[in-house]
Each structure stands twice: as structure tokens, then as C-alpha cells.
Amino acid sequence: MNRLLAVARLHLMVPARAFGLPWGIVTLAWALSVALFASFGDNGDVVIVGGLFSLYVILFLSAEQAVTRTLSFALALGATRRAFYLGTCGFLAAQALAAGAVLAVLRAVERGTGGWGTRLSFFDVPYLVGGNPVQAAAAYAASLALVCAAGLAAGSVTRRWGTVGTSVLSAAAIVVPGVAVWWISAAGGLAPLGNWLAGQPAFALRTLWPLGFATVLAAIGWTAVRRTPA
Amino acid sequence: MLTDDGRPIFLQIAEQLENSIIEGALAEGDQVPSTNELAAFHRINPATAAKGVNQLVIDGILHKRRGIGMFVTTGARGLLRERRRARFAVQFVDPLVAEARKLGLALDDLHDLVDRSWKDSR
Amino acid sequence: MNGPSDPARPSPLDVEGVTHRFGGVLALDGVAFRLDEPGIHGLLGRNGAGKTTLLQILAGQLRPGAGRVEIFGHDPFERAGTQAQLCLVREGQRYPDGFRVHHVLRAAALFFPHWDAGYAARLAADFELPPRRAVTKLSRGMLSAVGVVVGLASRAPLTLFDEPYLGLDAVARQHFYDQLLADVAAHPRTILLSTHLIDEIADLLQHVVVIDHGRVILRADADDLRREAVALTGPADDVEAVVGNLLGTGPGTALARERLGGVARVTVRVGGTAPVLPPGSAVRVEPVSLQRLVVHLTSSPAAPRDGATAAGGAPADADAGTTTTPQGALR
């Protein structure tokens, strides 16, 4: 447990990078959006801005860097790959949970203030989140976890198999679903699949599925990391 | 100081301590520097310094007082001088004679040189 | 050095048959040696001899293709308990984004159980490392100094330094050696230092392992190696006569022959036995330093695997001035 905590503390060593960067950028994007919307005056419509996307991008990148840069330093300090990966997953999960809670609060404030008084929907992204704040927090956390897991997988694959590996993984990420869709539609299963998906409770779609994919991606990352050279 | 003459360092350490004892810088009953002090001073490995000190313990020049350190044994000075005297002929006189012969000096010349050197060294 | 090891007190380092390939290249070939005592020991050899690969394997950061590696009795690869007893300092270490010098030291404190923060701070000050300077902005010398500080302050029971002084100037190097001596004396542990700057640290080393083309060619106490070879200088015929005697009667091998006019200098490996010269001989016997010994032993191309010694180079031409003919000297 101590070893895993040490890894987590390693990731938190430079707070400006761990917190400052992601939240700083989100704050900036939000402030710009609010200013922009305030200058438009009354729209009559509530328009959604994809500003929260920046948070997801940054967390993806830091998860990737955790493997491409921090791993080699941790190994030099004597951490095992196992401890590093587990500790990093734990850290990213905790980070996703905490961020999810913060975002849920901000979303509640946004809804309560009528979009920050400008009818801006920055945090309240409809398909991503919904329901009460607890459900929203879970959905945020799940999607953030998915993005972090993708970063871990990308970083691990790059570290182990270089750009060739990453290209293969990216190609697979496009080809595999594409083939699956083609195969399902050829079997005439697209419509039933669509109906089944539409019938899934929102909670499953927003929270459980992303978590499922996140776990798969994290596992892919581990297979790459466990034999990676220092 | 340590020389680069290929002789093992531990022997050089032992010899330097012997010289200190013979010259009187280290008196009988005095404590000798610790191996760590010797190692730091000469910039050598402490194990090598320890080997040199142990050589003197084996030779009966130093003895260990547990918990305190290494001390010069009583009678060490006399012992060392005796040993050095026994080696004196081979170590110094033979080479002197060989070199003198090489240069073509006569025995009398050699005597004169030794006399002069003896007087000058007072 | 090669007695049976006591399972109750395992050796800090015990390897056998370590072989490793990178692609088609054989980097290490059957490396075997043991370090039993704490102290400062040396891993010597030319660039590309395999020192870095070996140290990475010893530190458990690389899994060898074959062989047994035991650090304090266990295989270090991915073993947390053993990793905690180890520290490998190498050049070219990459640090996480945004790290400053003080972050590196605080990170080290998280992972090394024996870390001494006060000592680390004093060392950093001695090497003039600005704590708030970003690691990416450090000069080459300062980067080496960071590695040295981490290696020393880790107080790891087995500390491995891979040519830690690259980038350090002579003053900083001397400072490193002095600190190393003092701290190992105060906190005994096992240090293995790889280097090709042998003269500077020869006196500090206790045990020495020389590696050439991936193989161990020599394992001995550094102090004993001072008498391992001698250089015989004098009139060419007299020198050859002495050399002939030595090679004929003992296990000696000639490592190098040099000629200038009528004077010859032959370096002979005598294994600690001082050559006996006829009285009044004009031949002088000079010691051969550890560095020169290692240079002589490692300057030939790799010997064929069946153990035959490599052939020498061009024969000496007495009229052409100095010619050096290194001859294979693998025992």
C-alpha cells in the first residue's frame, strides 16, 4: 500500500502540473465562454459549447505522459512496473472521482444560475451527463476514467512498441468497431441493436459502459507495460 | 605519501606507520590513526588501509584494544630497528656497491664518500 | 572470494552465466562474479564492453536472456523488496515534466527506505545544484551531479554507478570520490562503480572486475593487481633474454612490445611474482598501473570463442622507430 501511495505522491509532486494545468485551462475556457455569451445578449436558445472537451484532452495527455515519462523515472527509483501501474490507475481513478464531484457541483450551479446568467451550457453536456448531481458525478467520473485509461493504453503501447504500435492501436480502434458495425448490419442486427441500446437505462450508458471500456483499455496498457524496458 | 612504484598500497601504509614509529613520531603506547582516517587521508579504500594496519598487528608492532583502537606495542621501536638493520645490507649496501662498481669507483673512494656523507648528515 | 555463500547472509551480488543479446549482437556472454564484502568495487572495461547492460541487469531493470542473478539472494527483476535495497545511477536519466532539482530529491525520499534528506541537501549544496532550477535547464555537469547526489543519499545497501562522473569536471570528480569514501566508511554498504577513468579511482577500489566484449576477463583485488604486470626496459637483447626466461619458466604472457632504437620495453603479465634479474643487469623493472594493465588486456579484438589467443599485429620494425604490438592476453 505504501508503495502505491508513493507512486500517487510522485504524480502529485508538481501540483502546478497535476491540478493547475487542467483546471486552469478549463477555467480559462469557461471564462471566455461566459464572456462570449454575455456579449451575445439574449439568444432565446441555450447553446452548448464544447469547452469541457479541453479537460478531457488534458487528462488524456497527462495519463499518456505518466507512462512515457514518469514510468522510467519511477523504475530508476526502484518501483516495480506492477506497483507503478496499479498506483497510477488508483491515482487516475481517484482523480476522476474527485473531478466528477467538482464538475457535478459546477453543473448544479450552472443550472441554478440559468447558465451563468448567459444561458451558457458549459458543464451541463446533455448526452454525457444527466439526472441528479450524484448520477452526474458518476457519469463525469466514468467518462474521465475512460479518457485516462485511453491515455494509459496509448502511452504504454507507444513505450513498448513505438509509433508502430500506436498506429496499429489507432487503426484497430477504427477498424474493429467499423467491422463490427458492418458485420452486425449484414446480419440485420443493427435495428434490434439500436433498440436495445435505446432501451438501456441512462445510468448504464453513461456510467457502466465507459467504466467497462476503461477497464479493457487499462488491461491493454498493462500487457504493454509489464515487459517494457526501463 | 604513496608512491606509484607498484608495491601494494597496504604495504606502503604499513611502512609509513613503521617509519613514524622508528622516527619517534608515534611513541610506544600511542594510538595510531583509525583505518577510516588513514583511508580518507591517503584517498584509498578503507579495506586496503585496514590490511596495512593488520599487517603490523601480525608483525607484533601494533595491538588492538577492543572498543578503542590500535596502539603501538611496547618494544615495537626496538623490534623495527632490529628488522631494518637485518635488511639494511641487502636493501641499501648491495645496491650501493653495485652502482659503485658500475661507475668504476675504488673501495677507498667509496669509504671517503661514506665518511663525507656521515659527517654532513649530523 | 569464491567460497560457498552462506544462505543466512546472502552476498550483495552474485551472478553466473549471464548472457544477453540485443537483436543479433551478443552484449554479454557468460558473465559470472560475486561481491561478498561491503566496500567500493570497480567494473572496468572499454566503451561498448557491456558495462551498462550488465549494470541494468544487476539492477533488475532488464531481464537477461540467460543466467542467474542474485541480489541479496533474490532475482531483482520486478521484486519490490530487492528493489528497495538497490539504487542504479546512470547517465541520460529522464525526469517527469516540470520537475525541479528539489522535486527529484523529494521523489527519491518516497522510494528509498534509507534515504537521508539532510545528507542529500548538503551534497546538493556542495555540488552547487540550484534546488529550484528545472531539470531540463541543468548543464551536463549538474545533471551528473544530481545523479551522484541521489546515488549517495539513497544509502542503498547495493548502489550501482554507471560512469557517474561524465560531465563532472576534475574538481567535482575529486569531490565525488572523497564523499564516496567518507560516506561508505561511515555507512558501510556495497558500491559497484563502472568507469574507464581508471587511474583516478584505482586506489579507492577494493575488488575489480574487468569486462571485455561482453566477457569477464579478470576478477581480482585491485591492490593485488598492482603487481600483476611489469614493464621491463633496457637494451633489447637483455630484455628479450629476461622475458624469454619469464615466459619459459612461469605462466607469464607478454602483453606488449615496444622498441625505440636499441632499447626495448616489454610489458609482461607475471601474476604477482616479481621477476628475478641477474645481478648487475641493465634491465629495469617498472610497475604497470591498473589503467595500463586494463588497456593492454582490452585493446585486442575479441578472441574467438574457443579460447585461442588473438594473433598480434604487425611485427616490430627495429629501424622504424617505436612500434607497439599488442598481443592477445586472455587467460
Residue C220 included in any domain: yes
Task: Give the pLDDT band of residue C302 (cuts 50, 70, 90).
Answer: low
Residue B57 included in any domain: yes
Nearest CA in chain C to A229: C62
Pair (B24, B81) in one structural domain: no
- Say whether pLDDT at C172 is over 70: yes
- Domain residues for the domain of B55 are 9-76
Question: Bridge partners of C13?
Answer: C35
> What are C257's three cell numbers?
612490445
| CA C277 to chain centroid | 33
A70 contacts on C by Cβ (under 8 Å): 96
Residue in the structure block whose three cell numbers are 589503467: C291
Q: Which helix (H) or strand (E) holds C232?
A: strand C229-235
Q: So what's the ipTM on this one?
A: 0.85
Pair (C25, C116) in one structural domain: yes
Per-residue model confidence as pLDDT tens digits over A51-61: 788 899 999 99
A91 burial level (CB within 10 Å; 0-12, 13-18, 19+): buried
Question: Is chain A adjacent to chain B, meaning 3+ CB pairs within 8 angstroms?
Answer: no
Pair (B92, B61) in one structural domain: no
Residue B58 included in any domain: yes
Residue C320 included in any domain: yes
Backbone φ and ψ of B38, nearest 5°: -60, -45
Lowest-pLDDT range of A203-207, B28-32, C117-121, C204-208:
A203-207
Q: Mapping DSSP to helix (H, G, I), strand (E, B) and coil, where does residue C202 land? A: helix
Pair (B83, B43) in one structural domain: no
Give mean pLDDT, residues C223-236: 88
Per-residue model confidence as pLDDT tens digits over C176-229: 999 999 999 999 999 999 998 898 899 999 999 999 999 999 999 998 888 888
C125, C120, C98, C96: which is closest to C109 by C-alpha?
Answer: C120
Lowest-pLDDT range of A34-43, B29-38, C297-306:
C297-306
pLDDT at C1: 45
- Say whether pLDDT at A41 is over 70: no
% of residues, chain B, pLDDT over 70? 98
Pair (C101, C186) in one structural domain: yes
CA distance C156 to chain A (A): 11
- Say whether pLDDT at A219 is over 90: yes
Pair (C54, C166) in one structural domain: yes
Pair (C204, C244) in one structural domain: no
pLDDT at C320: 36
Give mean pLDDT, residues B60-88: 91
Pair (C205, C116) in one structural domain: yes
- Say whether pLDDT at C308 is over 50: no
pLDDT at C315: 37
- Please say whether the beta carbons of A11 and A66 come within 8 A: yes
Of B14-28, C120-134, C236-250, C316-330, give the range with the top mean pLDDT: C120-134
pLDDT at A201: 78
Q: Give dist(CA B47, CA C302) in Å, integer.
A: 34
Residue C148 included in any domain: yes
Question: Bridge partners of C235?
Answer: C263
**Choice between A206 and B17, residue whose per-residue pLDDT is larger:** B17
- Dihedral (Cα; C51, A84, A95, A153), 10-degree rounding: 80
Pair (B103, B48) in one structural domain: no
Pair (C95, C141) in one structural domain: yes
pLDDT at A177: 81
- Please say whether the beta carbons of C297 and C255 come within 8 A: yes
All residues at 6 or more sequence positions from C131 whose CB lies less than 8 Å from its CB, including other chains: C100, C101, C102, C105, C124
Amino acid letter for position A117: G
The count of structural domains within chain C is 2
CA distance C110 to chain A (A): 6
Per-residue model confidence as pLDDT tens digits over A7-29: 999 999 999 888 888 899 889 88
Q: Give dist(CA C136, CA C141) in Å, integer.
A: 13
CA distance A81 to chain C (A): 7
Backbone φ and ψ of C266, nearest 5°: -120, 130
Strand pairing of C39-44 and C207-212?
A: parallel
Pair (C172, C291) in one structural domain: no
Q: Tell me the average pLDDT of chain C.
A: 86
pLDDT at C277: 82
Pair (C319, C247) in one structural domain: yes
Q: Give dist(CA C90, CA C84) in Å, integer.
A: 17
* Contact call for A13 and C96, based on CB within 8 A: yes
Q: Give dist(CA B16, CA B7) in Å, integer.
A: 13
pLDDT at A186: 79
Pair (B53, B104) in one structural domain: no
The count of structural domains within chain B is 2
- Please say whether the beta carbons of C192 and C37 come within 8 A: no
Nearest CA in chain C to B44: C204
CATH number of the structural domain spanning residue C205: 3.40.50.300
For residue A86, what are the CA distances in angstroms to A7, A64, A93, A159, B92?
9, 15, 10, 17, 73
> What are C213's three cell numbers?
566484449
Per-residue model confidence as pLDDT tens digits over A149-191: 999 999 999 888 888 887 888 888 888 888 888 888 777 777 7
Q: Give dist(CA C310, CA C326) in Å, integer.
A: 10
Task: Give the pLDDT band of residue C252 (cuts 50, 70, 90).
Answer: confident
Give mean pLDDT, residues A79-89: 95
Q: What is the pTM of this model?
A: 0.84
Closest CB from C203, C226, C280 relative to B6: C226
- Say whether pLDDT at A197 is over 80: no
Residue B26 included in any domain: yes
- Domain residues for the domain of C125 are 13-224
pLDDT at A43: 58
Residue C2 included in any domain: no
pLDDT at C226: 86
Closest CB from B36, B45, B98 relative to C203: B45
Give mean pLDDT, residues C114-128: 96
C165, C205, C195: which is closest to C43 by C-alpha?
Answer: C195
Residue B3 included in any domain: no
pLDDT at C327: 39
A13 touches chain C (CB under 8 A): yes
Closest CB from B2, B42, B45 relative to C205: B45
Pair (B32, B88) in one structural domain: no
pLDDT at A117: 80
> What are A136's three cell numbers?
452526474
- Please say whether the beta carbons of C38 and C188 come within 8 A: yes
pLDDT at C311: 38
Pair (B58, B87) in one structural domain: no
Pair (C277, C142) in one structural domain: no
Residue C1 included in any domain: no
Pair (B68, B29) in one structural domain: yes
For residue C65, what are the CA distances in angstroms to A38, C26, C194?
66, 10, 22
Residue C3 included in any domain: no
Of A121-130, B100-109, C7-16, give the range with the top mean pLDDT: B100-109
Residue B56 included in any domain: yes
Lowest-pLDDT range of A12-21, B64-73, C118-127, C242-251:
C242-251
Question: What does the DSSP assignment read for A101-158?
Answer: HHHHHHHHHHHHTTIIIIIEESS--TTT--SSHHHHHHHHHHHHHHHHHHHHHHHHHH
B36 contacts on C by Cβ (under 8 Å): 185-186
**Choice between A116 and A90, residue whose per-residue pLDDT is larger:** A90
Q: How many CA atoms lie within 13 A of A204 on its CB side?
A: 6
- Say whether pLDDT at C310 is over 50: no
B66, B32, B36: which is closest to B50 by C-alpha?
Answer: B36
- Say whether pLDDT at C141 is over 80: yes
**Choice between C59 and C254, residue whose per-residue pLDDT is larger:** C59
Pair (B29, B83) in one structural domain: no
Pair (C72, C163) in one structural domain: yes
Q: Which of residues C174, C198, C224 is at a domain's end?
A: C224
Residue B2 included in any domain: no
Give mean pLDDT, residues B8-16: 90
Task: Give the pLDDT band of residue A128 (cuts 50, 70, 90).
Answer: confident
> What are C250's three cell numbers?
612461469
All residues at 6 or more sequence positions from C279 whose CB lies less than 8 Å from its CB, including other chains: B98
Residue B99 included in any domain: yes
Residue B4 included in any domain: no
Give mean pLDDT, residues C310-315: 37
Q: Which of residues C199, C224, C249 is at a domain's end?
A: C224
C42 burial level (CB within 10 Å; 0-12, 13-18, 19+): buried
CATH number of the structural domain spanning residue B56: 1.10.10.10
Pair (B26, B69) in one structural domain: yes
Residue C7 included in any domain: no
Per-residue model confidence as pLDDT tens digits over C62-114: 999 999 999 999 999 999 999 999 999 998 888 998 999 999 999 999 999 99
pLDDT at C316: 36
**Choice between C309 and C288, residue whose per-residue pLDDT is larger:** C288
**Choice between C21 and C273, residue whose per-residue pLDDT is larger:** C21
Pair (B99, B63) in one structural domain: no
Pair (C88, C54) in one structural domain: yes
Give mean pLDDT, residues C252-259: 85
Residue C6 included in any domain: no
Pair (B90, B45) in one structural domain: no
Amino acid letter for position B85: R
B120 touches chain C (CB under 8 A): no
* Contact call for A229 and C62, based on CB within 8 A: yes
pLDDT at C148: 96
Pair (C210, C274) in one structural domain: no
B7 contacts on C by Cβ (under 8 Å): 226-227, 287
- Write down which chains contact chain B via at least 3 CB pairs under 8 A: C
